Amino acid sequence: METIIRKLLIILFVNVSIISNAQTNPFGLVYQGAISKNEINQVNIHPISYKLNGIDIAANVYTPANYDPSKKYPAIVVAHPNGGVKEQTAGLYAQRLAESGYITIAADASYQGASGGEPRHTDKPQFRVEDIHGMVDFVSKYPGVDTNRLGALGICGGGGYTLKAVQSDKRIKAVATLSMFNSGEVRRNGFQNSQLNTIQQRLKQASDARAQEVASGKIIYSGVASITDEEIAKTTTDLYREGYEYYYRTHKHPNSTFLYTTSSLMDLMTWDASSNMDLINQPLLMMAGSKADTKYMTDEAFSKATNAKSKELFLIPGATHIQTYYVPEYVSQAVNKLNEFFGKFL
């Protein structure tokens, strides 16, 4: 009981301190321990932008302490969760990996966050996968990056899209996921297969939404725009209850939202992160909390990675899906494993 209480107090302290950071950080970062200013001989953050298929992409590059552009460094691209932005957990992991000597990049997805693209909050798998290719494009040209030592980390939905990206993008030499979320499977079947009986109905709704976009230009959205404390408390699944707390309370960011265009479901519902996993021949690390109600998605994809050069499933004891985003104990375990993995294969 004392251990449980201690962990709850740590989580409460972290959440309170993060709320304060969100109001003051000059880079808009909302995670604990975030960089607040660039200093000589320390990890630095560099807000940048670049074009990807005509769209302006907003990203942050993190460079390691004592960064020297004339030297060569391994680099890692970090893909953020569904609804997330680069200033949340993707930034946290990008910063922690930079502290270990990597050049890292975390970018807002096309149509989302501070990146461009219309309609806003379009959430199509092909765009999210292309975003990862685009990060590789950019970081490959960044001063000091060794293009023979490029890695990828995807978190939640970004993990599913990263699995798909590395199936074809062999510039990426090693791939890791954290709390992988198969966006296509969940949008199609419902979370934990809870909506199997309404697949055709929801496809019809998505088709109707697209028809309305064409006819009138009106964009219809699905998802959750806001939520009350009472509604959060009544949410039965850990993923969504803790997700609402993370995104709408403790780590809230003005560019982060659970909304997406309803017409995106036409693409999402026919897509699957775990298909063609046999095309991954790079080393693969998949991490998940032992108590995560999303772990079944990691298990499914991992089992299909039959041709990975090396593969490991790493469980973080006691962690739920969302807790791997920010709880110091769980983040440190994940970062230590990532350092071991990328240190071996990059």
DSSP string for residues in 58-104: EEEEEE-TT--TTS-EEEEEEEPPTT--TTTHHHHHHHHHHHTT-EE
Q: Kindly tell me the burial class for residue 177, based on how many C-beta atoms sit within 10 Å of its own C-beta (0-12, 13-18, 19 or more).
A: buried
Rounded CA Rg of the chain? 19
For residues 236-265, give the mean pLDDT: 96
- Answer yes or no: are the C-beta atoms of 213 and 119 closer than 8 Å: yes
Q: How far apart are the first and last CA of the chain?
A: 42
In this structure, the dihedral spanned by the alpha carbons of residues 241, 243, 245 and 249, taken in order and rounded to 10 degrees, is -150
Map tokens 């909506």 to a residue.
195
- Decide if pLDDT at 33 tops 60: yes
How many residues appear in the chain? 346
pLDDT at position 24: 87
Q: Tens of pLDDT along 103-152?
A: 999 999 999 999 999 999 999 999 999 999 999 999 999 999 999 999 99
Cis peptide before 64 (omega within 30 of 0): no
DSSP helix/strand/coil, 10: helix
Chain Cα centroid distance, residue 189: 21
Cα–Cα distance, 241 to 228 (Å, whole number): 11
Helix axes 2-24, 328-345, angle to 10 degrees: 80
For residues 12-20, give the mean pLDDT: 48
Tell me the whole-structure pTM to 2 decimals: 0.93
Rounded percentage of the chain residues whose pLDDT exceeds 70: 93
Q: Tens of pLDDT along 272-321?
A: 999 999 999 999 999 999 999 999 999 999 999 999 999 999 999 999 99
Q: Tens of pLDDT along 213-234?
A: 999 999 999 998 899 999 999 9
The domain made up of 2-182+224-258+272-345 has a fold known as Rossmann fold (3.40.50)
Chain Cα centroid distance, residue 166: 15
Map tokens 């009472």 to a residue.
230
User: What is the overall mean pLDDT for the chain?
Assistant: 94
pLDDT at position 133: 98
Q: Is the Cα dihedral 129, 130, 132, 133 positive or negative?
A: positive
pLDDT at position 22: 56
Q: Which of 11-15, 168-172, 199-203 has the lowest mean pLDDT?
A: 11-15
Structural domain boundaries of the chain? 2-182+224-258+272-345
pLDDT at position 6: 45
- Decide if pLDDT at 256 tops 90: yes
Q: Tens of pLDDT along 42-78?
A: 999 999 999 999 999 999 999 999 999 999 999 999 9
Cα–Cα distance, 182 to 168 (Å, whole number): 18
